[in-house]
Amino acid sequence: MNAHEIDYKIYGNDMQFVEIELDPQETVVAEPGAMMMMDDDIVMNTIFGDGSGQDNSILGKLFSAGKRVLTGENLFMTAFTNTGYGKKHVSFSAPYPGKIIPVDLSVYDGKIICQKDAFLCAAKGVAISMEFTKRLGAGFFGGEGFILQKLEGDGMGFIHAGGTLFERKLERGEVMNVDTGSLVAFTSGVDYDIKYVGGIKNMFFGGEGVFFARMEGPGKVWVQSLPFSRLADRIIASAPRYGGKHRGEGGLLGSLGNLLDGDNSF
């Protein structure tokens, strides 16, 4: 194996974290800020790019880091190395309620494609970079943007899904349509494109978006029930405005709105 061979254990149900067990000199790389706790002999090191070691030249490191910037991720990553003599542990927490998905890349032909914010951590040697979609339509209307993220190698990677996780294995020629925000990841054999919903009423009043992700097998698809963008929109819509009051509070319209919402206070 080119990637470090790490062991792991996932804790929790709705707010999960993954504990990585490292042998001496083994390393795991993660997004900045993902670390939850670690043993004393584990040393953190901020690195350019993903630390996969595919190109150790200065230009290679800059190109690797630049590809991460294009996917909307941080320019740097953090490497956690066991510098002690026995097995040590470091844990990484999920950023919001959902499930952590362990992915053995050697099982999936060495490649997984995922949303740009799905990656959590991976064994050193796994390359994390951009993935161009095959069609311009998927790029301009896909929700995830023209550039997706890919994990390549033969080691373990960990991605995160919001809410409840659903896994679907598609046979050759089998098709499923997925809300673009609900799509978490898929294997390299799945053909990915954007499908127009159609119909004026669907466009303006359907509430489900104008485009779906069309996934055609063979391969595996991971879907999440609670995309972070949807959760964030609900939080923003309910957040206090204008000095702690919701927009419209204090007037007749605000009072009527409170009554309709079940709030009897004025």
Pair 196, 211: CB distance under 8 Å: yes
Size (the chain), residues: 266
Provide the domain count of the chain.
1
- Cα 163 to Cα 144, 231, 248, distances in angstroms: 18, 10, 32
Q: Is position 170 within any domain?
A: yes
Average pLDDT over residues 4-25: 92
d(CA 234, CA 228): 10
Categorize the per-residue pLDDT at 222 as very low, low, confident or very high, splitting at 50, 70 and 90: very high
The residue written with tokens 């929109």 in the block is 233
Q: Is 149 inside a domain boundary?
A: yes
- Residue 58's identity, in one-letter code, is I
Q: CA 241 to CA 23: how far, in whole Å?
A: 51
Above 70 in pLDDT, residue 255? no
Residue 122 domain flag: yes
How many beta carbons lie within 10 A of that of residue 13, not counting itself? 8
Cα–chain-centroid distance for residue 66? 19
Q: Determine the Cα–Cα distance for residues 266 and 254; give it in Å rounded to an integer.
A: 9
The CATH number of residue 106's host domain is 3.60.160.10
Residue 242 maps to a domain? no
Average predicted confidence (pLDDT) for the chain: 77
Domain of residue 220, residue span = 7-235
CA–CA distance, 224 with 184 (Å, rounded to integer): 6
How much is the pLDDT for 220?
A: 95
Q: pLDDT at residue 250 above 70? A: no
What residue has token string 């309620």? 97
Confidence category of residue 55, pLDDT binned at 50, 70, 90 = low
Query: Is there a domain that residue 70 lies in?
Result: yes
**What global pTM score does this model have?**
0.76
257, part of any domain: no
**The residue to which tokens 């003599």 are assigned:** 85
Pick from 1-15, 94-108, 164-178, 239-253: least confident: 239-253
Can you give the pLDDT at residue 266? 45
Q: Is residue 253 part of a domain?
A: no
pLDDT at 135: 54
pLDDT tens profile 159-218? 999 888 999 999 999 999 988 888 899 998 999 887 766 555 444 444 445 677 889 989
Neighbours of 63 (CB within 10 A): 15
Q: What is the pLDDT of residues 21-48, one digit of tens each?
A: 999 999 999 988 899 999 999 999 988 7
* 247 domain-assigned: no
In this prediction, what percent of the chain has a pLDDT beyond 90? 38
Q: Which amino acid is at 218?
A: P
